[in-house]
Each structure stands twice: as C-alpha cells, then as structure tokens.
Amino acid sequence: MSQQLRVEIQREVASALAEDIGTGDLTAQLIPLAATATGRVVTRQDAVLCGAAWFDTVFQMLDPESSVVWHARDGDQIKAGQVLCDIFASARSLLTAERTALNFLQLLSGTATTTSRFVAAVAGTKARIVDTRKTLPGLRLAQKYAVCMGGGQNHRIGLYDGVLIKENHIIAAGGVKQALKRALEIAPSNAFIEIEVESLDELKEALAAGARMVLLDNMSIDEMREAVSVTAGRAQLEASGGVGLERVREIAETGVDRISVGGLTKDVRAIDLSLRHIEE
C-alpha cells in the first residue's frame, strides 16, 4: 500500500466520521463510559474482501486502545457465514464506529467483488480489465485500490497522470496528428498517452500519426476484430463503452489488450455484512 493511499485513508475516514458524528454521538451516551465490548463481522454472501485498512482506521481514530483481529485479508475470496474479524473496544466506540467502518468495508468489497467477476469472465484471453474515472467523489483512490484487490488494473488516477485525447480535444488541437504531437510535448515521461477513435478510419489516422495506445469507443465486435487486425501490434488497444458482464468475454476474444469498465466503480453494490455484538 502506497504512502499516498495511507494518507488518503486517514482523510477519508476523518471526513466520514465527522459527517456521521458531528458534535457527538447522542445515543452512545446511554452506555457507561467505562464499559467495554466485543464485536464480530460476518459476511452474509460470497465476495472478495477489501477495505480492512479503512475499517481499522475508523476504530483507531475513535479509540486508540481498540484492536481488530482479522481472519481474512484484502483480496481473499470469502464465503457466506464466514467470520471476517473480531473487534475489541470500548462499548461507546464500538457503537459509534460500526456504521462508518462497515460502510467502507461493504462498499470496497463490493467494488472488488464486481471486478473479480469481470476478471474471471475474460480469463484465458490477453485482455485486462481496467477501471475509469467514474468513481464516487472523494473515494477515487479507495475504489481504485479495490479494483486491484479484485484482480483488475488501474487506468489513470486523474487528469494529472495520463493523457486521454477525445474528440473535442482533437478538434480544439487541429487534428489527430497535432493533438498527439502536442501531447508528447507536454506529458511527463511517466504518463501514458492514449487517443480515442470511433471508426476504423480514425484508427488508421491515429496509427499513422504514431499513436501507441488507442481507445476503441463503442465499436461493434466485428469492428474491434478488424481494429486488432489493422493495428497488428503497433499499439495497445482498449475497448470501451457499454461493457457489461454478459458481453465482456466476447469483447476480450477480439484480441484487444484492455477493456475499461465504468461499472466497476460507478454502479457498485455494497456486499451484505453483519457486525454482531458478543456478550462478554
């Protein structure tokens, strides 16, 4: 886990707790201050676990003396009924933290689980599943981490670490050749440069201009096969647009290198977890 992500976890958790607690948890004040409690998180469905660091951070921020003992790790396939972790904390902290902690764990496990289904669907092909910038505001690095835990790969993180030239960029720059030339002049050496095309003619124009990564936008299966043939390994090809689980295998079998799926992070459905309080 990168230092950038560690810092981001602290920010995200602090923001989520402030949103939920505000000036204080009124209901938790019903519990004696000195009382302690034990909790246990159980999954109600098969999934891929993700978000343990966020879960831990919630409890550490509220109760530095608390501890979480995990019985599974991020990236693990988990089964319905499985115990994921045990929590030992003050009773007030446990009650205050549980919803925020579960929100992170459920959401990120949902992203990882969805990603794993797409990855499994293209197994045996050369295609890799990648994410997009269609993430929940404020949770981009978290969701992109979850994509990796599900076996996918990250596209650019934001507008600062990669160049994706779309139709309006091409028009404003004066054409495909001009746009690519300018991109090479301004992009940092570690940033990729990709250009979007909507037809085989545009693909040929982009290849002639020296494109090394091309996004095939909303092309048919036949057009993608032809694009792979025309490109002949001169550039990486990424399929994009309306990619669902029901057709991702067919797309992968055209021979494209990458398939970007906005639904990994945009349409995520949280998995079903339960935090049970255990009598001591």
pLDDT tens for 116-158 read 999 999 999 999 999 999 999 999 999 999 999 999 999 999 9
DSSP string, the chain: --HHHHHHHHHHHHHHHHHHHTT--TGGGGS-TT-EEEEEEEESS-EE---HHHHHHHHHHH-TT-EEEESS-TT-EE-TT-EEEEEEEEHHHHHHHHHHHHHHHHHHHHHHHHHHHHHHHTTTSS-EEE--S---TT-HHHHHHHHHHTT-B---SSTTSEEEE-HHHHHHHTSHHHHHHHHHHHS-TTSEEEEEESSHHHHHHHHHTT-SEEEEES--HHHHHHHHHHHTTSSEEEEESS--TTTHHHHHTTT-SEEE-THHHHS-----EEEEEE--
Above 70 in pLDDT, residue 111?
A: yes
| 228-263 pLDDT tens trace | 999 999 999 999 998 999 999 999 999 999 999 999
| Stretch 28-54: mean pLDDT | 95
Active-site amino acid positions: 99, 134, 166, 196, 217
**pLDDT computed for residue 191 by the predictor:** 87
**pLDDT computed for residue 279 by the predictor:** 62
| 201-212 pLDDT tens trace | 999 999 999 999
Q: Which pTM value belongs to this model?
A: 0.94
| 188-205 pLDDT tens trace | 888 889 999 999 999 999
User: Mind listing the domains of the chain with CATH numbers?
Assistant: 3-114+268-278 (3.90.1170.20), 119-266 (3.20.20.70)
